Chain A
Amino acid sequence: MSTNRLLSQAELVALKERLEKNRNANKTVVTVCAGTGCMACGCDAVLKTFHEEREKDRLENEVEIKATGCHGFCERGPLVVVHPLGVFYQRVKSADAKLIWEQTVNGGHLVNKLLYRDPQSNQIITKEKDIPFYKKQMRIIFGKNGFMDPTAINDYILLGGYLALATALTKMTPEQIIGDIKKSGLRGRGGGGFPTGKKWATCRAVKVDPKYVICNADEGDPGAFMDRSLLEGNPHQVIEGMMIGAYAIGSHEGFVYVRNEYPLAVKNLTIAIKAARDYGLLGENILGTGFNFDIETSRGGGAFVCGESTALMASLEGKVGEPRAKYIHTVESGLWDKPSNLNNVETWANVPLIIERGADWFASIGTENSKGTKVFALTGRVNNTGLVEVPMGITLREILYDIGGGVPRGKRFKAVQTGGPSGGTLIVEVAEPKIHASMVAHGDIRDEDEAVSLLDLPIDFDELTRAGSMMGSGGMIVMDEDSCMVDVARYFIHFLTEEGCGKCVPCREGLVVMLNILRKISEGKGTIEDIEYLEELSQVIIDTSLCQLGGSAPNPVLSTIRYFRQEYLAHVIDKRCPAGVCKDLVSHVIDNTCNGCHACLKSCPTNAIVGEPKRLHYIIQDKCIQCGACYQICRYNSIKRIKRGEGDKLQERARELWQPPLKKVPAEVA
């Protein structure tokens, strides 16, 4: 048995006090964000440079270098914060690290070029909390992330970690804890929004032993990464939450089911569990209270359906991850047919905060029926991508404009997709109606007053469901005018046909039929009846599927038809893709804003682009395969995507403007 074991609550408090005493508040601490996002931007090299500089200056005792968890502002990574000054540096490369060391750490000066500059006001901002991206956020779950090394349990204890557990074990009965969780109004953060306290109470009431607690970290929703970030940046908070839950329910064994695609999360979680065992915070007779509990981790096999609770439990048992009918509740009969309480990473991470600060405090945040904060992964076509933690009830406008900072390249917002593949796409801004005469003739245009913008929609569980989407795990993918809603629906249905387990017919066969129809529409071969059939089929799949994956699978189609029917009609009647995404309906052309930078010409795989440097370029339509490489590379928005067939005339005009020497005109055009 380890000598580090904490035998009582008093010893835990004593350890915290000892750590506080030894800490020098004035000591310079350089924190480098080491989440996967910053890692991909090269934070390793930055850390290495800091370590080298420190060694060179022999300042090991004076300066501490910390690799912390995710700060959330992934767009600007790698991030470096120098404490106690609190200076926030962004997009730091390894050469810049040397500069920060010399100027800020040694000299106490700021390095202006690495500070955040507000794109709107052009003002330089030095402190993290003053940056607009963080200003409207309420970082309570992520509160400790930027200040601790996730692999150092002492860092967590220093910040008050495991005290909530000690309080729960020594001063509260399981019933009191469940009462507190109920009172706090915490709802499951995995997507369903089921009241956590109620779930725990049902599980506790079942008189079967053993019981299991499970942490669902199989974050399969594309576009969501808050669970990964929490496990990477602060695994102890999740462990502590699970322990409190286990005590309340009467369980002694816990499992964390985590995606194998998240190697850093697996690593940090494993280190954290080992460290907690070493302190006797996991194992037998925890803090001398007689409570026993331990956690095992299990790595997933990369199946989206395993995020569904019954499929996850089948997978934990080492079986194929197929869900089962829901009328047998997992809290009564789950893993190995024993009562099993499964919650999402973020839900567990909320638990210690509720115990520590009280249910009333938690209930004071948020809306009537959705309490606390929610972490969203803000991604897609928005300037400030990253993880944002906001109080429930915040409006989409605040998230997209104040925190997200608008759309890049001066384009227009169009839609926001929440809830992952089974969520819905919500209209954000109403584009100018481009109603074709033939569309009006069909009488299938929705009323003007129905064309609302949901920009001022308060975000909580119930409002999102009412609007035809769902909270899901919190992915929020922003789309601008360049995103085609038929393509988005097709993308999600394709995803779900690949990821469905194949057990029940409506989901397995129905989705394939839907996918074929959507493909037809995106190829310009659809009919009005196809849209009606999609709606009818969706309802059948919703009504008859076995699990929630199937039951919510048609959501992307239904919500896009609901809010973007015109776009479907444009594909069907006008054979046109307004966003210019559907390859079969689009022609790429270059307009006269082209300055002849040559970038597109080099990127073109079929040599369809012709033009001399600094002169107007044009695209030979017969050669173009509509791959979109030039559109992606052009920095001047000179490539336009227009209706198929209308390109020839335009490019003919461009060729005339270009007026090349006749001998250089390629044979195909002449």
Chain B
Amino acid sequence: MTVAVDTKYDLQSKIEEIVGEYGAKSTALIMILQDVQKHYRYLPEEALRAVAKTMKLPLAQIYGVATFYRAFTLKPKGRNHICVCTGTACHVRQAVVIVDKLERDLGITPGETTADGEVSLETVNCLGACALGPLVTANGIYYGNMTVTKVERMLSEVLHKKHDSDTTEEAA
């Protein structure tokens, strides 16, 4: 599944809506891009152009910011987002084993998305819940004290939930 970018008209009005929330000032640029990314699950080129136009900022600055900060991606992300914390506390509690396990099970390395667009795998430097390490978040839900067996349970939960939302979407 590819992430559909709205038609040009919709995109422009969506960007204007997001920019309007903060005002077209450069202090808000990072937050605006965060919201754009939240909406499209990545930063499409058209959206960056629209942000530049709306905020009257050079596209180069926006591209610079979009590629400098770790939180932004120019490639589409999957529908499910799995994130392994590899902060120091998680590292000494063997987060590597968890990353290896997910790599094997999903067939992708961190930063990649499965071919069917279902799952993206990422690592993050610290989620600040170090007491629960190794820590994984799946679609924003925290899974603490992870082991390889818990990863399997988590994966099936995540993929199962996907089916749930599918059916509700169909019902709606």
A199-229 interface (Cβ within 8 A of B): 219-225, 228
One of A47-55, A238-246, A426-434, A628-636 contacting the partner: A628-636
Q: Would you call B65 and A319 a contact (CB within 8 A)? A: yes
The residues of B that contact A261 with a CB separation of less than 8 Å are 124, 126-128
Answer whether residue A39 sits at the interface, using C-beta atoms and an 8 A cutoff. Answer: yes
Q: Of A219, A299, A492, A633, which one neighbours B31 at CB under 8 angstroms?
A: A299
Answer whether residue A461 sits at the interface, using C-beta atoms and an 8 A cutoff. Answer: no
Answer whether residue B27 sits at the interface, using C-beta atoms and an 8 A cutoff. Answer: yes
The residues of A that contact B54 with a CB separation of less than 8 Å are none
Q: Would you call A632 and B28 a contact (CB within 8 A)? A: no
Q: Would you call B27 and A222 a contact (CB within 8 A)? A: no
> In the complex where A477-B89, A633-B148 touch, is A74 in contact with B131 (Cβ < 8 A)?
yes
Answer whether residue A351 sits at the interface, using C-beta atoms and an 8 A cutoff. Answer: no
Answer whether residue B12 sits at the interface, using C-beta atoms and an 8 A cutoff. Answer: no
Q: Would you call A37 and B131 a contact (CB within 8 A)? A: yes
Minimum CB–CB distance for A548 against chain B, Å: 18
B128-172 interface (Cβ within 8 A of A): 128-133, 135, 142-144, 147-149
Q: Which of B64, B68, B93, B101 has the most CB of A within 10 A?
A: B68
Q: Would you call B69 and A222 a contact (CB within 8 A)? A: no
In angstroms, Cα B125 to Cα A298, docked, is 20
Interface string of B83-100 (1 = CB under 8 A from A): 000111111111011001
In angstroms, Cα B91 to Cα A628, docked, is 13
Q: Would you call A316 and B27 a contact (CB within 8 A)? A: yes
Q: Would you call B129 and A627 a contact (CB within 8 A)? A: no
A377-427 interface (Cβ within 8 A of B): 377, 379-381, 385-386, 417, 420-421
The residues of B that contact A321 with a CB separation of less than 8 Å are 68-69
Task: List, sorted by A's number, 5 A–B pairs whose CB atoms are closer than 8 Å.
Answer: A220-B125, A225-B126, A301-B30, A301-B72, A318-B28
Q: Would you call B88 and A223 a contact (CB within 8 A)? A: yes
Q: Would you call B68 and A320 a contact (CB within 8 A)? A: yes
Q: Would you call A41 and B132 a contact (CB within 8 A)? A: yes
Q: Would you call A301 and B97 a contact (CB within 8 A)? A: no
Contacts from A to B (Cβ < 8 Å): 36-37, 39-41, 74-75, 77, 219-225, 228, 255, 259-262, 296, 298-304, 315-321, 377, 379-381, 385-386, 417, 420-421, 475, 477-479, 483, 488, 491-492, 495, 499, 501, 599, 602-603, 605, 627-629, 631-633
The residues of A that contact B34 with a CB separation of less than 8 Å are 260, 299, 301
The residues of B that contact A478 with a CB separation of less than 8 Å are 92
Residue of A nearest to B68 (CB): A320
> In the complex where A477-B92, A483-B92 touch, is A318 in contact with B27 (Cβ < 8 A)?
yes
The residues of A that contact B61 with a CB separation of less than 8 Å are 318-319
Q: Of B26, B88, B97, B126, which one neighbours A380 at CB under 8 angstroms?
A: B88
Minimum CB–CB distance for B58 against chain A, Å: 11
Answer whether residue B5 sits at the interface, using C-beta atoms and an 8 A cutoff. Answer: no
In angstroms, Cα B142 to Cα A36, docked, is 9
> In the complex where A318-B28, A318-B65, A605-B101 touch, is A222 in contact with B94 (Cβ < 8 A)?
no
Q: Of B92, B96, B104, which one neighbours A381 at CB under 8 angstroms?
A: B92
Q: Would you call B124 and A298 a contact (CB within 8 A)? A: no
Contacts from B to A (Cβ < 8 Å): 25-31, 33-34, 57, 61, 64-65, 68-72, 86-94, 96-97, 100-101, 104, 124-133, 135, 142-144, 147-149
In angstroms, Cα B100 to Cα A261, docked, is 23
Instruction: A318-B57, A380-B88 are known; give 15 further A-B pairs, CB within 8 A.
Output: A36-B128, A40-B135, A40-B144, A222-B87, A225-B129, A225-B130, A260-B34, A260-B71, A298-B28, A298-B30, A298-B31, A318-B28, A379-B88, A385-B130, A605-B104
> In the complex where A260-B34, A299-B31, A632-B94 touch, is A320 in contact with B65 (Cβ < 8 A)?
yes
The residues of B that contact A477 with a CB separation of less than 8 Å are 88-89, 92, 130
> In the complex where A302-B70, A381-B92, A633-B148 touch, is A75 in contact with B131 (Cβ < 8 A)?
yes
Q: Would you call A302 and B26 a contact (CB within 8 A)? A: no
Q: Of A40, A259, A296, A317, which one neighbours B132 at CB under 8 angstroms?
A: A40
Q: Would you call A479 and B131 a contact (CB within 8 A)? A: no
Q: Would you call A491 and B68 a contact (CB within 8 A)? A: no
The residues of A that contact B93 with a CB separation of less than 8 Å are 380-381
The residues of B that contact A488 with a CB separation of less than 8 Å are 91-92
Q: Of A315, A492, A627, which one neighbours B30 at CB under 8 angstroms?
A: A315
Residue of A nearest to B126 (CB): A222
Q: Would you call B69 and A303 a contact (CB within 8 A)? A: yes
Residue of B nearest to A225 (CB): B128
The residues of B that contact A483 with a CB separation of less than 8 Å are 92
Dominant SS at the B interface? Answer: helix
Q: Would you call B132 and A318 a contact (CB within 8 A)? A: no
Q: Which of A299, A316, A381, A629 has the most CB of B within 10 A?
A: A629
> In the complex where A298-B30, A318-B30, A320-B64 touch, is A491 in contact with B94 (Cβ < 8 A)?
no
The residues of A that contact B125 with a CB separation of less than 8 Å are 220, 222, 304, 495, 499
The residues of B that contact A420 with a CB separation of less than 8 Å are 88
Q: Would you call A223 and B149 a contact (CB within 8 A)? A: no
Residue of B nearest to A479 (CB): B92
Q: Of A224, A379, A628, A629, which one neighbours B131 at CB under 8 angstroms?
A: A379
> In the complex where A74-B129, A222-B88, A380-B88 touch, is A603 in contact with B149 (Cβ < 8 A)?
yes
In angstroms, Cα B148 to Cα A75, docked, is 20
Residue of A nearest to B133 (CB): A379
Minimum CB–CB distance for B99 against chain A, Å: 10
The residues of B that contact A221 with a CB separation of less than 8 Å are 126
Q: Would you call B101 and A629 a contact (CB within 8 A)? A: yes
The residues of A that contact B132 with a CB separation of less than 8 Å are 37, 40-41, 74
Residue of A nearest to B25 (CB): A318
In angstroms, Cα B126 to Cα A219, docked, is 9
The residues of B that contact A318 with a CB separation of less than 8 Å are 25-30, 57, 61, 65
Among all A-B residue pairs, the 3 with the closest Cβ atoms: A301-B69, A222-B87, A318-B26
In angstroms, Cα B88 to Cα A488, docked, is 8
Minimum CB–CB distance for A600 against chain B, Å: 10
> In the complex where A316-B27, A379-B133, A477-B88 touch, is A219 in contact with B128 (Cβ < 8 A)?
yes
Residue of B nearest to A266 (CB): B31
Minimum CB–CB distance for B126 against chain A, Å: 4
Minimum CB–CB distance for A149 against chain B, Å: 21
Minimum CB–CB distance for A340 against chain B, Å: 13
> In the complex where A491-B91, A633-B148 touch, is A299 in contact with B130 (Cβ < 8 A)?
no
